[in-house]
Chains A and B, each alone.
Chain A
Amino acid sequence: QKEVEQNSGPLSVPEGAIASLNCTYSDRGSQSFFWYRQYSGKSPELIMSIYSNGDKEDGRFTAQLNKASQYVSLLIRDSQPSDSATYLCAVPGSQGNLIFGKGTKLSVKP
Chain B
Amino acid sequence: DADVTQTPRNRITKTGKRIMLECSQTKGHDRMYWYRQDPGLGLRLIYYSFDVKDINKGEISDGYSVSRQAQAKFSLSLESAIPNQTALYFCATSGLAGAGELFFGEGSRLTVL
Contact = CB atoms under 8 A, between A and B. Distances in A.
Interface of A: 1, 8, 32, 34, 42-46, 49, 88, 90, 92-93, 95-103
Contacts of A90: 100
Given A32-B100, A92-B100, A96-B48, A43 B42 contact: no
Contacts of A42: 106-107
Contact size class for B? 20 to 34
A38 to B, nearest CB: 9
Interface of B: 31, 33, 40-43, 45, 48, 50, 56, 58-59, 90, 97-98, 100-102, 104-107
Contacts, number: 52
Contacts of B101: 34, 46, 49
A101 B48 CA distance: 19
Contacts of B102: 44, 46, 98
A95 B48 contact: yes
Given A88-B42, A95-B45, A43 B98 contact: no
Q: Which of A44, A92, A93 has the most CB of B within 10 A?
A: A44
B40 A102 contact: yes
Contact of B104 (A32, A43, A92): A43
B43 A49 contact: no
Nearest to B44: A100
